[in-house]
């Protein structure tokens, strides 16, 4: 007959079970994928912070009383040096970034709805990202850190390379020619070796470190990781599709399938929405993301009839946390 576990072990198991209540049915954390580590365009890398990331990192709606003030200040600054019609046209004409495989897709009737008020949270924490003749979507996870798809910061694989960091400009809550929170440039790009060396669709995520703290005004998204199934969870994808340039659109659905590194849904998306958050209003997290949207339909099921994104695992959450804390 087997012996009961020592008291200390029982206490640890009880603590883990109690923590699992935060996100429901959390299995033991997946190990970090072999050989996959955080990297940056300047080669500095990052020292891993002590401890593991929390299962839940809460969203932040912005500083009370600052949003309207900051929006008005941004509008005033732009009125002093407004974007010319030529500049708006240049941004409109940028090619939407697309994943290296598959096409982001409208599946059945187009159910996308335009976000009419991008000054409202969380839409103001979603940004149009422009760079090197192309555009993507990103979302704030800290005052100065924007998450996006890996293929929006690096072309992927050992033969690929980082895009020009000085060409990046990020517009939170942009709505056509309206730029309610102004824009920020980039000072560093982040991704991981699963993307920059292997060009793996399972690791297609990255981030942009901004030269400003606009997130203190716009707020930012929370995010969570779990090893359990995400099937049936509500899923919202909001971003800047290429067929509706410079305006934000969202699609609401649910997760139909989830794997270790991927989340599948039939929300409608098109090129330009790479890097969008896949999120919902989590009871313990607020507006909280579970994946980074990146891919459309291709190959066999579930890829053939679903769009999908890179899942936020414990390893991904750790990178997000470390990038957020970096200078």
Q: Catalytic residue positions?
A: 151, 274
For residue 131, list its beta bridge partners: 134
The whole-angstrom separation of Cα 320 and Cα 327 is 13
161, 214 Cβ separation under 8 angstroms: no
The strand pair at 184-192 and 38-40 is best described as antiparallel
Residues 6+ apart with CB under 8 A from 13: 5
The strand pair at 134-142 and 95-96 is best described as parallel
Residues 6+ apart with CB under 8 A from 154: 41, 160, 161, 162, 163, 189, 191, 195, 196, 206
Q: What is the DSSP letter of 173?
A: T
Neighbours of 83 (CB within 10 A): 15
Instruction: Dig out the tokens for 50 from the structure.
Output: 């002590």
32, 294 Cβ separation under 8 angstroms: no
DSSP per-residue string spanning 63-111: -TTTHHHHHHHHHHHHHHSPPPHHHHHHHHHSEEP--SSSB----SS--
Q: How far, in Å, are 112, 133, 247, 259 from residue 152 at the CA level?
A: 22, 11, 18, 23
């Amino acid at each position: 007959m087997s012996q009961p576990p020592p008291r200390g072990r029982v206490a640890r198991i009880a603590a883990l079970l109690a923590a699992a209540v935060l996100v429901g049915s959390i299995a033991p954390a997946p190990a970090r994928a072999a050989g996959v580590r955080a990297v940056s365009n300047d080669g500095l890398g990052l020292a891993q912070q002590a401890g593991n990331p929390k299962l839940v990192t809460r969203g932040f709606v912005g500083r009370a009383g600052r949003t309207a003030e900051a929006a008005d200040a941004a509008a005033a600054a732009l009125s002093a040096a407004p974007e010319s019609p030529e500049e708006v046209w240049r941004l409109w004409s940028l090619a939407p970034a697309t994943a290296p495989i598959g096409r982001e897709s409208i599946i059945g009737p187009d159910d996308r709805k335009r976000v009419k008020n991008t000054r409202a949270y969380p839409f103001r924490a979603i940004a149009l990202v422009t760079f090197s003749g192309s555009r993507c979507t990103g979302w704030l996870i800290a005052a100065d850190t924007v998450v996006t798809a890996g293929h929006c910061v690096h072309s992927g694989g050992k033969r690929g390379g980082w895009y020009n960091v000085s060409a990046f400009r990020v517009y939170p809550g942009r709505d056509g020619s309206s730029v309610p929170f102004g824009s920020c440039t980039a000072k560093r790009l982040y991704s991981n070796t699963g993307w920059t060396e292997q060009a793996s669709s399972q690791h297609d995520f990255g981030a942009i470190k901004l030269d400003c703290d606009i997130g203190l005004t716009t707020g930012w998204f929370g995010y969570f990781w779990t090893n359990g199934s995400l099937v049936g969870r509500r899923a919202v994808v909001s971003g800047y599709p290429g067929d509706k340039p410079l305006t934000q659109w969202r699609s609401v659905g649910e997760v139909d399938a989830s794997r270790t590194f991927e989340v599948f849904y039939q929300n409608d998306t098109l090129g330009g929405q790479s890097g969008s958050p896949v999120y919902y209003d989590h009871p313990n997290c607020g507006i909280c993301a579970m994946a980074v949207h990146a891919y459309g339909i291709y190959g066999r099921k579930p890829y053939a009839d679903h769009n999908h994104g890179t899942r936020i695992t414990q390893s991904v959450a750790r990178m997000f946390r470390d990038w957020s804390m970096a200078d």
